[in-house]
Amino acid sequence: MIGFFKLFLSLFVIASHANFYFQIPGFSWFNQGISAVIPFFIISGYFTTLVLDKKYNTKKIPLPSPFNSSRHLLLVARNFFISRFKKIAPQYYFYAGLAFIFILLTQPQNININFTGLIANLSIIGLNLHQYFKLSLFSNSYYDGILPPIWYLAALFQYYLIAPFIHKFKILKNILWLISGITFILALFNFIPNNFYTYRFLGNFIFFLTGDLIYQALNKSRHSELVSKSRQNFKLVSCYLLLVAFSILTILQFSTKQIYQLDTNAPLLFGFLFFAPITFLLLKKYCSDRSRPVTNFVHKIDDYLSKLSFSIYLNHYVFIYIFNYLKMINILPISNNFLRFALVTFSSVIFAIFTQFLLKMIKENQTK
C-alpha cells in the first residue's frame, strides 16, 4: 500500500507542476502539490530509521573509548550516506542530464552556467538553499536547479547526514526537534522567510522526525518494557501536533491578514493534518504485512510501485520542459491544464517503467 500511496502523491505533485489544481469550494488556498510533499518527508523519516536500525544499528556501537566510539560512528555515518547516495543519485543524474541536453539543443540562449549552480546541481545536497545561492543553470528557470522538484532530495540528503547521530544520541534528536520546531513556527508566521524555512530547509526536519517517531512506536520489541510507554507517548504527541495544526489551519482559513502567507501555509498544514494519520495507518499495515511471507507477491508489487513513483517524481519535469517548448513553437499548443497534466503523467509513467527495466538489466549484468 505504501508504494501505491507514493504513486498517488507523485501524481498530486505532477498536477501542481502542470498548473492543474483541484478546486475545493471555500478553500481557494488548496494546493495538492505542497500537501503531498509532507507524507513523502514522513515516509522517508520512517525508512531512514528502519535502515539504520536493521542494517547499521548505531545504538549497538561498542564504547571501549570515546575516540574509538566516535570513529566507528563516523564510519557508519559515512557508509550510510554513501549507500543512500548511490541508490538515489544515478537516476537524478540521468534525468537531469536529459533535461540539460534538451534545453541546450532547443534553447541554448537560456543556458546560464554559474559556479554555485553547477556545484549544487552536481552534489544535489545544496539544491534547496536558493535563499542564499543562485542554483539554476537556466536564465528563465525556477530557482531550484535543473529539475526544480529535486530540492526534496537535497533536504533528504541533509537529513541522511545527521540521521546516524540522532539515532545514536537521543539528546541530539531532542535538540533537532526543538530547533526545527521553533524554526517552523517562526517561518509559519513570517518572522523568517516563509516558503524557505517551513518545508524546504530546517523546518522540514519535524516531518522527518515524525516518521522516526512512527517507527519507534511501531517497531519496538514486543518484549521491551518501553513498548506501551512509547506508544502512549506517540499517541499523545500525535494528538497534540494534529490539534496545533488544526488550530493554526483554522486561524489561517478565516484570517484576512496577508502576513500569514495563506497560499503556502494552509496547504502545508493541511498536508500534515490530513496525510499524517493516513501515513501512520499505511506504515502500520506495512509492518504487519511484512511479517507474513505469504504476501511476497504483494510486497513485490508494492516495492515496484514505490520505485516507479520515485522515477516519476524525478523525471516529470523533463516532460514539462518538452511540452512547454512544443507549445512555444506551436507544434503542440496545449491550453487545457488537465490535458497538459494527462500528457506529462502518461509520458512520465512510460519513461519511468523503461528506466526501471533499464536499471534491472544493469543490476543483472553486474551480478553475473
Cβ–Cβ under 8 Å, residues 155 and 204:
yes
pLDDT in tens, 198-251: 888 888 998 999 899 888 888 765 445 455 556 656 665 776 676 677 666 666
Nearest to 58 by CA among 173, 222, 213: 173
Q: Is 100 helix (H, G, I), strand (E, B) or coil?
A: helix
User: Which pLDDT band holds residue 6 (cuts at 50, 70, 90)?
Assistant: very high
Measured between alpha carbons, how far is residue 100 from residues 5, 94, 107 in Å?
30, 10, 10
Q: Which residue has the cell 500500500?
A: 1
Q: What angle do CA 32, 205, 24 make, to 5 degrees?
A: 15
In sequence order, the 6+-apart residues with CB closer than 8 A to the CB of 64 are none
Cβ–Cβ under 8 Å, residues 306 and 2:
yes
Q: How many CB atoms lie within 10 A of CB 102?
A: 15
Q: What percent of the chain has pLDDT over 90?
A: 19
Nearest to 40 by CA among 218, 248, 199, 220: 199
Q: Which residue has the cell 540522532?
A: 166
Q: Which residue has the cell 519496538?
A: 220
Q: What is the DSSP string of 196-228?
A: HHHHTSSTTHHHHHHHHHHHHHHHS-TT-TTHH
pLDDT at 41 over 90: yes
Query: At residue 181, what is the residue type?
Result: G
Measured CA to CA, the distance from residue 215 to residue 117 in angstroms comes to 36
pLDDT at 48 over 60: yes
The set of cell numbers assigned to 233 is 507517548
What pTM was computed for the model?
A: 0.86
pLDDT at 127 over 50: yes
The set of cell numbers assigned to 136 is 539554476
The set of cell numbers assigned to 46 is 520512517
In sequence order, the 6+-apart residues with CB closer than 8 A to the CB of 10 are 36, 309, 310, 312, 313, 316
- pLDDT given at position 223: 43
pLDDT in tens, 157-213: 999 999 999 988 889 998 999 999 888 888 877 788 777 888 888 889 989 998 998
**Mean pLDDT on 262-274:** 80
Our count of domains for the chain comes to 1
Averaged pLDDT of the chain: 80
- Could you report how far apart the first and last alpha carbons of the chain are, in Å? 32
Q: Is 39 helix (H, G, I), strand (E, B) or coil?
A: helix
Q: What percent of the chain has pLDDT over 70?
A: 78
Identify which of 53-62, 249-258, 309-318 has the greatest average pLDDT: 309-318
Structural domain span for residue 212: 2-367
- pLDDT given at position 260: 60
- b/e code 316-348 from CB counts within 10 Å (16+ = b): bbbbbbbbebeeeeeeeebeeeeebbbbbbebb
Kindly state the DSSP code that residue 295 receives in the 8-state scheme.
G
